[in-house]
Amino acid sequence: MTCSSDNNSVPRLVVMKRLANLQKESKGAVFRQGITESEQKLLDPFVSLVEFTFSLSAGFPDHPHRGFESVTYMFQGGIIHNDLKGHNGTIRAGDVQWLTSGRGIIHSEMPEEEFNNGLQLWINLPSNDKMIEPKYKVLSSLDIPRAEEKGVEVKVIAGDSMGIQSLVYTRTPTLFLDFTLKPGSQTHQVVPESWNAFAYIIEGDEGVFGSLNSSAISAHHVVVFGPGDLVSVWNKSTSRPLRFLLIAGEPIGEPVVQCGPFVMNSQAEIDMAFEDYQNARNGFEMAKCLRS
């Protein structure tokens, strides 16, 4: 058990599961799209979830963003980040980059090694935060608090679990936990009742989510939970660990219009974002200094 709960707890059952299929986008780059437009409606404030694999021949040269936060979590290899606000650095296996694009940022994400694997989550910003100044934060693997108890290890990237709490401040209240369950172990995590929650399975093929009577779910599935305040997970395998991310957030309840690298509240705001970028203004002034 990783969290104490009382008899009044309401289990969150699985209401949707979907395999994030492989999509080869370009030479040297493969993606799994975990959250599509269908899941967006169930998972406010989350807009996108992508697991990526890059070789040295791939990557994303300079490109813009506006209106959301992106969280990049590396599993293997490394990603080199540079932006026109002067932030730069490399995140490697176990590290996290939390980027608030706000009113506008232009950056590049390029692979460091021959094999680079990680995950990127897009978290929406409420309308009154969409035009704030950009922010950039990196958490090294050593700085991420973790706990272990009865065969369950958790890394607390945002929020709290097993009596430990992350120091990360998120504009949109968010829970971001990396669980590893040894064979035969289980975890029970409290999640605010009003929040939307899902899991993404990184490793394992006998994870049981929500109810002990549910069917096992394997790696690379997105598991969406229904209402309640307690997420329960069991690893039914006798030989393999189960690793998954448990992610939850407070719904914003506003219209979402996404087009390419911009996430806004209306088509007019999307049109303005493209105009601002093309004319190097309102947060994109450095577009004239593009390197690629």
Answer positive or negative: Cα dihedral of 135, 262, 141, 193.
Answer: positive
Residue 187: which of 225, 224, 232, 145 has the closest Cα?
Answer: 232
Output phi, psi for 234, to 5 deg.
Answer: -125, 140
The first and second tokens of residue 112, run together, are 């460091």
81 is in an annotated binding site: no
Alpha carbon distance 9, 256 (integer Å): 32
Tokens 């209401």, residue? 15
Find out whether 172 and 69 touch, Cβ atoms under 8 Å: yes
Cβ–Cβ under 8 Å, residues 60 and 83: no
220 is in an annotated binding site: no
- Tell me whether residue 63 is annotated as binding: yes
Give yes or no for a contact between 236 and 163, defined as CB atoms under 8 angstroms apart.
no
Angle at the Cα of 75 from the Cα atoms of 183 and 230, rounded to 5 degrees: 50
**Residue 188, annotated ligand binder?**
no
Nearest to 238 by CA among 165, 281, 181: 181
Q: Name the binding residues.
A: 63, 65, 107, 109
Binding residues for Fe cation: 63, 65, 107, 109
